[in-house]
Structure 1
Amino acid sequence: MKVKSIFVNLPIKDLKKTRAFWTNLGFTFNEQFSDDRALCLVLNDGLIYVMLVTHEMFSTFTNRPIADGTTTQVLTAIQVESREEVDRIVKLAIENGATRYRESVDHGWMYYDCFADPNGHQWEVMFTDPTQMQL
């Protein structure tokens, strides 16, 4: 079994604010799948996307209550190429309205830092170097 691509769907409160936040971090959107109800955030073109969907539209996909950003429903972790890239992204996120929900962690072979975006979704940005793992 092989999955062709992944689309994570997350509810958002403010489309304009959300677009500005992710754009300021250096990410892009697939405009073909974006409109006045949703944004298609590109994490790795052709493979990984996050659908940032307004609460009104999101409610049409589920019969359960929608998380309002004050609870943790999912932690989304993204892997980047270096420790410096982890620090750069988290710094930019905080400068653009994100909040830190825990301090960075360095395990030697894995380094990560965290932020909650303006909609309250928690993101972990990590760098791993498997050659540094001790068996």
Structure 2
Amino acid sequence: MHKQIIFNLPVKDLEKSKAFFTAVGFTFSQKFSNDQAAFMHIVGDDIRAMLMTETFFNSLINKPVVNAKEGNEVIICLSCESRAEVDSLIAKATAAGARIPHPPEDHGFMYDQGFEDLDGHLWNLVWAETGV
């Protein structure tokens, strides 16, 4: 049935957002990118995001674009293979200009921390023991 997850995010400055996510470690498909949108690989070919200029994003919907720095509708959660991977991605995001909304949470069987990207979208990185 469904083979991929692709979510669309409005961004204020496409080039700055591409630079930010490249610094975090994500890559982009030039084939499906232009001056209005950039197709970002997050986890292989299965999970991707389309970063869209606010103008282009707004042309696809019939309501205002939410300012994610003022309110959020979703938190994007990515699983990680280890605590070290969570910490590494947080360090890269911080170095690229992310805001860290809370300290890491260590529950023993699960470890997570999040960051806010340049446009205010929240990303949570989680490692959990298998079988949980």
TM-score by length of 1: 0.92
> Gaps spanning 5+ residues in structure 2: where?
none
1:42-86 deviation digits (Å, cap 9, x = unpaired) = 012221101111000001111111111221111000011110010
Asked if 1:14 corresponds to 2:13, the answer is yes
> Equivalences for 1:49-128 in 2 at 5 Å?
49-69=48-68, 70-128=70-128
Task: State the distance in 1 between where 2:61 and 2:37 align.
Answer: 16
Indicate the residue corresponding to 1:26 in structure 2.
Answer: 25
> In 1, distance between residues paired with 2:72 and 2:104?
18
Distance 1:89 1:97 in 2: 12
TM-score (norm 2): 0.94
**CA-based RMSD:** 1.1
Runs of 4+ in 1 over 2 A off after TM superposition: none
What amino acid does structure 2 have at the position aligned with 1:83?
R
Tell me by how many angstroms 1:91 deviates: 1.1
Task: Give per-residue Cα distances to partners, 1:16-48, cap 9 Å, x unaligned.
Answer: 100110111111011111110011110122211
Count the aligned residue pairs.
Answer: 131
Tell me, in whole angstroms, the C-alpha distance in 2 between the residues paired with 1:20 and 1:29. 10
Instruction: Please give the alpha-carbon distance, in whole angstroms, between the structure 1 residues aligned to 2:6 and 2:122.
Output: 17
* Fraction of identical pairs, as percent: 36
Aligned to 2:63, the other structure's residue is in SS state coil
Other structure's SS at 1:63 match? coil
